[in-house]
Structure 1
Amino acid sequence: MEYQIVTEFAELESVCSKARESDVVMLDTEFVRIRTYYPKLGLIQLYDGDQLSLIDPLTISDFTPFIELLKDTSVLKVLHACGEDLEVFANSFNCMPYPMVDTQIMAAFLGYGLSTGFAALVQEYLDVELDKSESRADWVARPLTDKQLDYAAADVYYLWPLYFKLFAKVEAKQWWEAAQQESELLMQKRGRTPNPENAYLDIKGAWQLKRKQLAVLKPLATWRLNEAIKRDLALNFIIKEQELWTVARHGLKKPKQMEQEGIDPRAIRRHGERIAAIVKHAQQTPEEDFPEKIERLMDFPGYKQVFKTLKDEVKKAAQHSGLATEFLASKKQLNQYLSWVWKHQRDPAKLPDVMQGWRLELFGRQLDQVMDV
Structure 2
Amino acid sequence: MREKSVNYTIINTHAALEQVCRQAQERDVVMLDTEFVRTRTYHPQLGLIQLYDGEHLSLIDPTVISDLSPFAALLNDTSVLKVLHACGEDLEVFHNAFGCVPTPMVDTQIMAAFLGHGLSTGFAALVNQYLAVELDKSESRTDWLARPLSVKQLDYAAADVHYLLPLYQRLLSAVTEAGWWQAALDESALQASKRIRHPDPELAYLDIKGAWQLTPRQLAILKPLATWRLQEALRRDLALNFVFKEADLLTVARLGLTSFKRMEQEGLDIRSVQRHGTRIAALVKQGQSVSAEEYPAPIERLMDLPGYKAQFNVLKDEVKLATQRSGLASEFLASKKQINQLISWVWRRDCDPLRVPDLMQGWRLTVLGQAMRDRVNDPVR
TM over 0.5: yes
Residue 233 (structure 1) aligned with residue 238 (structure 2): yes
Which residue of the other structure, out of 31, 38, 44, is the alignment partner of 1:39?
A: 44
For 1:56, the equivalent position in structure 2 comes to 61
Give, in whole Å, the separation in 1 of the partners of 2:208 and 2:96.
24
Report the more deviating stretch, 54-63 or 334-343.
Answer: 334-343
Amino acid at match of 2:195: R
1:151 to 136, 156, 177: 156
5+ long unaligned stretches in structure 2: 1-5
CA distance in 2, matches of 1:52, 1:201: 44
Which aligned pairs between 1:362-373 and structure 2 lie closer than 5 A?
362-372=367-377
Map of 1:259 onto structure 2:
264
1:251-276 per-residue CA deviation (whole Å, 9 max, x = no partner) reads 11111111111111001011111010
Q: Deviations over 1:181-232 (max 9, x none)?
A: 1101111110121111111111111111100101111111111111111111
- Which of 322, 325, 329 is the aligned partner of 1:324? 329
Match of 2:125 in 1: 120
Query: Could you tell me which amino acid in structure 2 is paired with residue 345 of structure 1?
Result: D
1:7 aligns with 12
Equivalence for 2:134: 129
- Measured against aligned partners, the alpha-carbon deviations of 1:245-299 in whole angstroms (never above 9, x if no partner) come to 0000001111111111111100101111101000101111111111110111111
Other-structure match for 2:3? none
Contact 2:311 2:377 in 1 (8 A): no
Specify the alignment match of 1:175 in structure 2. Answer: 180
- Mean Cα deviation higher: 358-367 or 320-329: 358-367
Conserved 8 A contact 2:258-2:284: yes
**Whole-angstrom distance in 2 between the partners of 1:99 and 1:142:** 32
Q: Equivalent of 2:281, from 268, 276, 300? A: 276
The answer to which of 343-352 and 79-88 deviates more is 343-352
Give how far 1:364 is off.
Answer: 0.9
Q: CA deviation at 1:338?
A: 1.4
Aligned residue number for residue 202 of structure 2: 197
Alignment partners' CA distance in 1, 2:220 and 2:350: 26
Q: Which residue of 2 aligns with 1:308?
A: 313
Is residue 2:95 matched to residue 1:90? yes
CA displacement 1:64-90 (0-9 Å, x = unmatched): 111110000000000000000000000
RMSD over equivalenced CA pairs, Å: 0.8
The whole-number CA distance in structure 2 between the counterparts of 1:242 and 1:338 is 29
1:209 paired to 2:198:
no
Q: Distance in 1 between matches of 2:28 and 2:338?
A: 34
Map Cα deviations across residues 101-146 of structure 1 (whole Å, 9 max, x no partner). Answer: 0000000110001000000000011111000000011000000000
Q: Which letter maps to 1:93? A: F
Deviation at 1:372, TM superposition (A): 4.4
Give the ranges of 4+ consecutive aligned residues of structure 1 lying more than 6 Å apart after TM superposition: none
Q: Which runs of 5 or more residues in structure 1 are unaligned?
A: none
Distance 1:341 1:284 in 2: 37
User: Alignment partner of 2:277: what SS?
Assistant: helix
